[in-house]
Structure formats: C-alpha cells, structure tokens
Amino acid sequence: MPFFLTSHGKSYPINTPIWCSESGELLDIQGEFKLPIHLLANRPPTLWRYREVIPISADAVPVSMGEGFTPLLPLKLAGHRMWVKQEQLFPTGSYKDRGATVLMTQAKYMRVRSLVQDSSGNAGCAIAAYAALAGIDCRIFLPADTAEAKIVQMCAANARIERVEGNREDTAAAAFKAAQTYYYASHCWNPFFLHGTKTFAYEICEQMNWQSPDAVVVPAGNGTLVLGAWLAFNELYAQGVIPKIPKIIGIQAAQCAPLVEAYKSCLPRHNLTVNNGTLAEGIAIADPLRGSEMLAAVRASGGEFLAVSEKEIVESFRLVAAQGFYIEPTSAATIAGAIAYMNKTTDTGRVVTLFSGHGLKSGDKILKMLANRT
Ligand SMILES: *Cc1c(COP(=O)(O)O)cnc(C)c1O
C-alpha cells in the first residue's frame, strides 16, 4: 500500500485528504510500482493503461475523459530531428489533464465534496473540468490578469472564480488560506498530480518500444513534468524495463529563470528572482515550490537547465506554426529549448520534447506576438 512521506521521514496514510504535513512540509508518495508490460497490448490507448503504477486503490473508478497516449511524432525543426509528443491534444488543451484525472480520481474516491486550486491558466482549466466530471464543487483562485479564454473555460465547467489582486504568489497565498477549509487540489503541493504527469514518460518509453530516449526536453515552471518524468524513469529503470535514465533538460524563459541561475551557480536551491515578463507566462514561476527537488532531479539525470530568450520563443513558434501545428507561446519556449540544446550539444542521440498546450486558448496573445514582428 502506498503512503505519504515527507523529506524528514514522517509518513501518513494515503487515503487522507491532506496535501502537506502538520508542519507544512511537502509530501511525496512512496510505494512499490510494478508495471505488467505483457498486459498492456490489450488495453485502451489512455494513460489509465498504467493503472498499476498510479497509487490509487484498485477499486477506485477513474474520473476520465479518455485522455492520454498522445501521438509521438518525429519532426524536423531548425535542422534537428526530434520526437515531439502532442500534449496539446488533451481534452482541456494541455498536458495538465494527466495530473487532473489522477488527482480528481483520488479526491472522488475520498469523497471530497469541495476543493480549491490556484493557477494562472491550464492547471485551473484541467482541475475545473475534471472536478465537474467528478461532481466536486470547485473554487479557483486566479491573478486578476489571467487570460480571458482560460477563465471562460473554467466558468464553463461551473468553477467559482476568485480573482486576487497582486501577483502569482498573492494568489497562491489566498488559495492556501482557503485550503484550511477545503481540499487543496494544487498541482504544486499535491503529489497525486505528479503521479499523473509521470504517465508522460511511461508513454514515451512504451512508444519507443521500451528503449530510453537519450534526452527529454521539458518546461520547467513548477516542475510537474520535470518531476513526473523523473519519477517515471526511475520506476521503469528500477524494474529493469528501460536500459537507462534519460537526461532531463528543463527549459525556462530567460526573463524568469531562477533554476537556470541556481544550476549555473551549483546551488542546491534557487534564490528569489523576479518575473521580468515573458511570452511564456505558463513557465514564469519566480519561486517554484519544488525548486530544490527539480534541481536535484535534473542534476541526478545528468541533464541541465537552459534559458531561452523572447526572440527564440517567437522564432520557434513560427517554425512550428509553419508546419501546421498551433501551440501556446509557452509551449514554443520548450521547443526553443530543444533547438538550443541540440545546437550546442554534439551527439545528442534521441531527443524527445513536447507541445505542452494548444494555441486555441491564446489567440489574442499570439496575434500580438505575430504583429510585433521585427
Ligand atoms: C503548466 C504548463 C507548463 C509548465 O509546467 P510546470 O509544471 O509549471 O513546470 C508549460 N506549458 C504549458 C502549456 C503549461 O500549461
């Protein structure tokens, strides 16, 4: 039976609606994960095909919209061949559905009636949608300047919206306070979310016939994919399913890059940084809650953190759009990072990256970005 564990070794039973320890420490989920590979061929192409490694009781019924098992396409961008996972194709338009389907399944299993979440975008959309499907009352705290299309999407799912004046940190503080009373479905705090995002890496390995890629280039905001991928690769490696753990390359916007700076200075944790404003708003996290975990994971994988400029983000968006794919500006930052990584590294081997979110929610921003052509 899996259980919650803090970094100080305190444990809690898994089926309790908590999201941190009594003293406010982060929780991780500890368990034994064994994937019955021989059974996978007959299962539907959703992320729930990895049911045995998702730490939720076997009698829980998934709160699912048939999400996951997104295509892994070979693309050539800026002269480099890379594999690009189509994570913009999720029901709510971003890979955050991976975390939301798992977290809401657990919440429903524990008979949670109402929850709070805070997000400036896609995590809120995903939690709102899956909470609606689960029949759970949902309140989302948002910074006052959140993109209108995303608010509309949350409202459509009947979420109650609480706009908070100030920055992203003020919003988190307001939600944190409300979480004294309600279940906190935070994609940063709640470790069930990471056991959903880890299916991203399970899928990559299965789609590559259980050969590890050499590097996986992912966004590094709050780190749900960095840490989810790290969990998955370790679980698969420990079971002898994959031959090695790929390098994890975390991408930040140069305008808000606390982890790139800490990585370069060989620090175990980041210093407080300011968000100087970037097109990649979805990864502009000045003070990532799990920052030290992200630094440790990327280093242990042999990977690195890279920063991309606003110019590189726009150029990558154009390259991708010129092949017909329509992605969020935030997603273009990760592609810019994959290109930068392949430009500076000799013999990269097989590189996998992703389109993290759909362009359809960001039309206004994309219009502005393209109008500013220089
Ligand atoms: C959330 C998000 C990211 C960044 O992910 P983190 O978990 O914050 O590191 C990147 N792209 C899109 C489209 C997102 O929604």
**CA–CA distance, 128 with 154 (Å, rounded to integer):** 6
Give Cβ neighbours of residue 152 (< 8 Å, ≥ 6 apart). Answer: none
Pocket test for ligand 1, best of 84, 90, 95 (most atoms within 8 A of CB): 95
What single letter denotes the amino acid at residue 374? Answer: T
Phi-psi region of 302 (alpha: psi -120 to 50; beta: other; left: phi over 0): left
What single letter denotes the amino acid at residue 228? Answer: G
pTM of the prediction?
0.97
Ligand 1 pocket check for 124: Cβ under 6 Å: no
Ligand 1 pocket check for 186: Cβ under 6 Å: no
Cα(123) to ligand 1 centroid in Å equals 8
> CB count, 10 Å around CB of 321?
15
pLDDT in single tens digits along all 374 residues of the chain: 999 999 999 999 999 999 999 999 999 999 999 999 999 999 999 999 999 999 999 999 999 999 999 999 999 999 999 999 999 999 999 999 999 999 999 999 999 999 999 987 899 999 999 999 999 999 999 988 888 889 999 999 999 999 998 877 788 889 988 888 899 999 999 999 999 999 999 999 999 999 999 999 999 999 999 999 999 999 999 999 999 999 999 999 999 999 999 999 999 999 988 899 999 999 999 999 999 999 999 999 999 999 999 999 999 999 999 999 999 999 999 999 999 999 999 989 999 999 999 999 999 999 999 987 65
- Relative to beta strand 80-85, strand 72-77 is antiparallel
Q: Which of 104, 225, 106 is nearest to 157 (CA)?
A: 104
Query: What is the SS3 assignment for 176?
Result: helix
Ligand 1 pocket check for 357: Cβ under 6 Å: yes
> CB count, 10 Å around CB of 319?
18
Ligand 1 pocket check for 212: Cβ under 6 Å: no
Ligand 1 pocket check for 92: Cβ under 6 Å: no
> Are 46 and 64 a contacting pair, CB within 8 Å?
yes
Structure tokens at 270: 């980041």
In this prediction, residue 272 carries a pLDDT of 87
Pocket test for ligand 1, best of 224, 293, 326 (most atoms within 8 A of CB): 224
Pocket test for ligand 1, best of 92, 94, 195, 366 (most atoms within 8 A of CB): 94
Pocket test for ligand 1, best of 90, 225, 230, 275 (most atoms within 8 A of CB): 225
Question: Residues 174, 176, 182, 185: is their CA dihedral positive or negative?
Answer: positive
Alpha carbon 369 to its chain's center: 24
Go through 189-223 and write b for each residue having 16 or more CB atoms within 10 A of its CB, e for each that does not.
bbbbbbbbbbbbbbbbbbbeeeebbbbbbbbbbbb
**What distances in angstroms separate CA 286 from CA 95, 157, 187, one per listed residue?**
21, 29, 16
Ligand 1 pocket check for 96: Cβ under 6 Å: yes
Q: Which of 253, 368, 259, 372 is nearest to 313 (CA)?
A: 253
> Are 118 and 94 a contacting pair, CB within 8 Å?
no
In this prediction, residue 373 carries a pLDDT of 60
Widest Cα–Cα separation across the chain: 57
Cα(35) to ligand 1 centroid in Å equals 27
Ligand 1 pocket check for 288: Cβ under 6 Å: no
Ligand 1 pocket check for 2: Cβ under 6 Å: no
Cα(262) to ligand 1 centroid in Å equals 20
